[in-house]
Amino acid sequence: MTIDVIEFTDAQYSALNEEQLQEVMSAQTKKDKLLSSLNEKKRKEKFRLLKNGIFRSNIYDSLCAQWDGEYQAELNAIKERLLFYLRFSLKVETPVGHPYVVDYALSYSERFMVVRDYYLATYSNPTARMDAFKQDTVAPSYLGEYYASLYDYFLDKIEN
């Protein structure tokens, strides 16, 4: 099973317990069924319009745009429910003396900025920054889906 309902790294998935992995797999299954249903709906409508001789009109494109919007809204709801669940079930005790504030009341984007700003202010050398970030045991669970983005951001600073 390919998991693409959320963007987690392998390290983040390995930190999840069995119940949390079940929630991720359940959300992925819902997403896959939703996509399958959308594709089937489009296929049937295309056939119906072809049969009636009006497929070349803008009807199909309009319907597809509407259905894609509905699909995206439902997918966002599935994703938000999953991230909300993981946000509050992944709480890890912050080690004493942890360098940045770990506040689970912050949104993921605010957490991202706190962690990013800490590492940018503390480490001027991109390689040292990346090494320190990789050693951070709290960041994968604290940042959730944003961990991979910050990892790529710091990696890009090394390469450029």
Contact 13, 21 (CB under 8 A): yes
Say whether 81 sits in a helix, a strand or coil. helix
Dihedral over Cα of 86, 91, 95, 100: its sign: positive
DSSP state of 136: -
Contact 105, 111 (CB under 8 A): no
What six digits make up the tokens of 146?
A: 């944003």
> pLDDT at position 7, please?
87
What is the full per-residue pLDDT of the chain (160 aa) written as tens digits?
789 999 888 878 887 888 889 999 999 999 999 999 999 999 999 999 888 888 787 889 999 999 999 999 999 999 999 988 887 776 656 666 788 888 877 888 999 999 999 999 999 999 999 999 999 988 988 898 899 999 999 999 888 7
| Side chain identity at residue 135, one-letter code | Q
DSSP state of 57: S
CA distance linking residue 64 with residue 66, whole number of Å: 5
| pTM: predicted TM-score of the whole model, two decimal places | 0.62
> pLDDT at position 92, please?
58
> pLDDT at position 103, please?
80
Say whether 72 sits in a helix, a strand or coil. helix
